[in-house]
Structure 1
Amino acid sequence: MTSHLKSTRLPIAENEAWTHRVPAQIEFCSVTKMYGSVAAVKDLSLAVRRDEFLTILGPSGSGKTTALMLLAGFVAPTKGDILIAGNSVASVPSYRRDQGIVFQSYALFPHLSVRRNLEFPLEMRGMKAAERAVRVDCMLERVRLKEFGGRMPSQLSGGQQQRVALARALIADPPVLLLDEPLGALDRNLREQMQGEIKRLHKEFGKTTICVTHDQEEALTLSDRIVVMRDGQIEQIDTPEALYDRPASRFVAKFLGEANMLEDAGLMIESDTVPRNGTVAMIRPERICIAAPTAPKRTDAEQRQSVTGTVEDMIFAGPLRKYHVRVGSTVLIGREHVAAGQQTFRPGDEVRLEWLRSDVRFVTA
């Protein structure tokens, strides 16, 4: 018997192709969710493309988890509709929605072996034992746990439990995969490893995937697009590169990484872009070059803005050094990769900060 999973290998399309050719797999249509007088989600409209990995990112209380719970069917919208493949599911119970779900706690059955955990959703669908066995063997191999089928969840590491949870969500071949803070319970090194595993599995299975997280690095690493939410509404949605390099607002700039707001330093901003009304100048820390005041100017100095300041703090973080430099009435952050022979500045040192005028971005206040 040939398992359907063995033939599932859908490549990720380019963003441009999605935009022009691929229909939406999931749509939130003016969805609002009220809890009493509080709107957890307000008039949410969002289209998720087929086979896309979309991450909903935001601080606590932003509405990101409520949006996922609405899609999963664990809560019902107060207003609006949710479509999957063009069909309304707003009134469809969660157990009738063909979706795989991975929770932060993994929610593995502690009294069942890994193999039985994977068999359970297939058994609930009435699949015969022989076909279940073939499919479980295939999935264990795909998630690199072929030798662990007989173990109990308590006998696995955190990363192995995460892979079992992913395998159980994928084994019934659902068109949609939902991830709720999937790596929140893992330490940093293991999170980075599992990010690679999730990307690999998404590429292999080609599932439309919605991930909710508060971890900016995780969102940037995994996603085709990121939705940044604030107070129950979408603040901005774009590709990771565009969202980081061209944030639309001060909130997005500061939430997704670190950002220096240049007007706080009282500077006359030099930029290649004409600012719109109601915007402020911003630059990322890694775009700022740090040098001694007497250091030779760069060959492209005419394309740069230069200011002087005093180092207040230097933070060594392995491959990076982060400097806090007081300029006027504010402190700017500069970040540089550590290199051999590089000059290191200490608190109290006078330094020159400079950046390309083309690297300045203007965001709404």
Structure 2
Amino acid sequence: MNAHETAILPLPKDHQFALECSPAQIEFCNVTKLYGPVAAVKDLSLTVNGGEFLTILGPSGSGKTTTLMLLAGFETPDEGDIRISGKSVASVPSYRRDQGIVFQSYALFPHLSVRRNLEFPLEMRGMKVGERTKRVNRILERVHLSGFDGRMPSQLSGGQQQRVALARALIADPPILLLDEPLGALDRNLREQMQGEVKSLHKEFGITTVCVTHDQEEALTLSDRVVVMRAGRIVQVDTPEALYDRPATRFVATFLGEANILDNPSFNVESDTKPSAGAIAMIRPERIRVAPPTGAKQSASEERQSVSGIVNDMIYAGAVRKYHVRVGNNVLVVREHAASQQPIFRPGNEVRLDWLRSDVRFVTQ
């Protein structure tokens, strides 16, 4: 039996960790996981609130997947403890944890129909045939797959397979849902559609959800809070809005979207915020306005800073135009919404850039 199958075996009564009336709270307490001399996760402490959708975001090797595998029970911490609803589960195997899991590969049983895939976790829990049938019918309707119950996984599209995987994870009403790069195998349009579906299902079911992804847009779209990891440690935890608008470090600023980091700028950066010692100014590309050099300037009351520059490049991306503008020894990225009757600047054009001083942020190295 492989790891994917063990995640949905029946739970002995003395090892059930589901709360009867409320979603589960998850706690990582100074958790370290070693692979030889390398710490994949180092001294990690984190609380996931009941009913929360929390996403762990980071580049390859950051420790995000190891963190999820520790929570799923597929890995055991070398130090520290993991608690679910106040009870330690650090040494409890995966098949004794009441958790729904969706893998990037979906992990559907290829030899079973959609209905049998959905019935399997209920059957393993000893549910009677009549109740199993009702539950499967309800969940198929909820994920918009009524009438697909007789199909095999190979007869489904990627998006349909993803819906079946989500339905199977939710059908037994687990208090915790784990998502491992759940939308990574889908194309962009379908991934955006499924983001809305995942968010809707979380709101409806209210299950404590922990998602791992390297997709920044996915993390911002789905989450109540986002954990940014790097080299096995947590760098910053906050709401999507706060992380994007007020990143604490250069790494968070550049990993979570694009950022103009003003290293040794040739102009004096004005800001409404007093920077701490050693901090570096940062501004998001969409907060900068590009205009002809002789155009009317904004009034001083708007508290804007203005600089002159030369366009290095213009990239058209449908809904937006992206400019690379050289200002002294810096190249600033500007992203603006593409609209009709809007001036378009070409490489070599002189332009004026301006932004609100309140949009300047300061980050540490």
With the length of structure 1 as denominator, give the TM-score of the two structures: 0.93
Whole-Å Cα distance in 1 between the matches of residues 117 and 24 of structure 2?
32
Partners of 1:358 and 1:300 in 2: CA distance: 13
Identify the residue that residue 346 of structure 2 maps to in structure 1. Answer: 346
Instruction: Return the offset for 1:351.
Output: 0.6
1:128 is displaced (CA, Å) by: 1.3
The aligned residue for residue 62 of structure 1 is 62
The aligned counterpart of 2:282 is 282
Match of 1:204, SS state, is helix
State the Cα distance separating 1:330 from its structure 2 match: 2.0
* Letter matched to residue 29 of structure 2: C
One-letter identity of the residue aligned with 1:159: G
Query: What residue in structure 2 maps to residue 49 of structure 1?
Result: 49
Shift of 1:129: 1.2
- Would you say the 8 A contact 1:282–1:361 is kept in 2? yes
Quote how far apart the aligned CAs of 1:296 are: 0.5
Residue 81 of structure 2 corresponds to which residue in structure 1?
81
Matched, 1:303 2:278: no
2 CA distance for matches of 1:307 and 1:114? 60
Amino acid at match of 1:256: L
Amino acid of the structure 1 residue aligned with 2:47: A
Distance in 2, matches of 1:196 and 1:75, equals 31
Matches within 5 A, 1:201-350: 201-300=201-300, 303-350=303-350
- Alignment check: 8 A CA contact 2:24 2:176 kept: no
Mark the CA change 1:145 to 1:302 in structure 2 (over 3 Å): closer, same or farther.
closer
Give the C-alpha shift of residue 167 in structure 1: 0.3
1:23-42 Cα shifts (integer Å, max 9, x gaps)? 97000000000011000000
1:133 aligns with 133
Misfit runs of 4+, over 2 Å: 263-267, 299-302
Q: Distance in 1 between matches of 2:225 and 2:147?
A: 35
What's the CA shift for 1:134? 1.0
Q: Which runs of 5+ in 2 are unaligned?
A: 1-21
- Counterpart of 1:175 in structure 2 is 175
Residue aligned with 1:147, SS: coil
Post-superposition offset of 1:305: 1.1
TM-superposition CA deviations, 1:217-263 (whole Å, max 9, x none):
00000000000000000000000000000000000000000000123
1:197 matched residue in structure 2: 197
Q: Give CA deviations for 1:303-356 in whole Å, capped at 9, x if unaligned.
A: 111111110000001010000001111210001001110000000000111111
Query: Residue 148 of structure 1 aligns to a residue in which SS?
Result: coil
Instruction: Say whether the 8 Å CA contact 1:281–1:360 is kept in structure 2.
Output: yes
Structure 1, unmatched stretches of 5+, are: 1-21
Aligned length: 344
Q: 1:225 to 1:145 in 2, by over 3 A?
A: same
1:268 to partner: Cα distance:
1.2
Distance across 2 between alignment mates of 1:264 and 1:138 = 60
Name the structure 1 match of 2:117. Answer: 117
SS of the residue aligned with 1:323? Answer: strand
